[in-house]
C-alpha cells in the first residue's frame, strides 16, 4: 500500500529533507510517529528500517566536501526508503484484499497473455 503517488516525493522524505543535519533522535522520533500512524504492516516495517538508516545517511552527507542541495538530500532519502521497501519484500507476505492471487484462480496473464498456458499462481 503506497501512501503517495509514484513519481512524487514521499511526505516523510519532504519533512526530513530540511532537517536531515539535525539531531538523529529527533529524526528517528519523526519516523516513529509515522510508524505508529501507518496501518499497513509492510509500510511500518519499511519505515522502521528507514529510521535505522538515517544515521548512515547523515554520516555520508557530512563526509562530502560541499553540502548537498535539498534536491540531492531528497533523492538520497527517497532512494533509502525505496531500498528499505525492497528489503522487506521477502519478509512479509503481500496483502491481497481482492483475492487476485488466490491459488485456485487462473493467473492474470494465463490464456490471454503469455503463451496461452493456463496456470495458477502459488499461494
Q: List, for residues 85-105, the tens digit of each pLDDT value.
A: 898 876 555 554 554 444 443
Q: Which of 38-47, 67-76, 88-97, 111-120 has the lowest mean pLDDT?
A: 111-120
Predicted confidence at residue 88, as pLDDT, reads 84
For residue 100, which phi and psi values (nearest 5 degrees)? Answer: -70, -25
Residues facing 106 on adjacent strands: 120
Predicted confidence at residue 119, as pLDDT, reads 41
Dist. CA 64–CA 68, nearest whole Å: 8
CB 54 within 8 A of CB 27: yes
Predicted confidence at residue 89, as pLDDT, reads 73
Q: What is the CA radius of gyration of the chain?
A: 19
Q: List, for residues 114-123, the tens digit of each pLDDT value.
A: 344 444 444 4
Predicted confidence at residue 6, as pLDDT, reads 53
Half-sphere exposure of 4 (CA within 13 A, CB side): 13
pLDDT at 107 over 70: no
Instruction: Answer left, alpha or beta for residue 99, where phi above 0 means left and psi between -120 and 50 means alpha.
Output: left
pTM, 2 dp: 0.67
Amino acid at each position: 500500500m503506497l501512501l503517495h503517488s509514484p513519481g512524487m516525493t514521499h511526505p516523510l522524505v519532504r519533512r526530513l529533507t530540511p532537517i536531515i543535519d539535525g539531531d538523529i533522535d529527533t529524526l528517528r522520533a519523526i519516523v516513529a510517529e509515522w510508524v505508529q500512524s501507518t496501518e499497513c504492516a509492510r509500510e511500518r516495517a519499511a519505515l522502521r528500517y528507514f529510521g535505522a538508516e538515517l544515521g548512515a545517511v547523515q554520516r555520508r552527507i557530512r563526509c562530502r566536501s560541499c553540502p548537498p542541495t535539498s534536491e540531492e538530500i531528497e533523492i538520497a532519502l527517497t532512494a533509502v526508503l525505496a531500498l528499505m521497501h525492497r528489503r522487506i519484500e521477502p519478509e512479509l507476505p503481500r496483502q491481497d484484499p481482492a483475492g487476485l492471487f488466490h491459488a485456485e484462480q487462473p493467473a492474470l496473464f494465463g490464456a490471454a497473455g503469455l503463451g496461452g498456458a493456463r496456470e495458477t499462481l502459488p499461494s
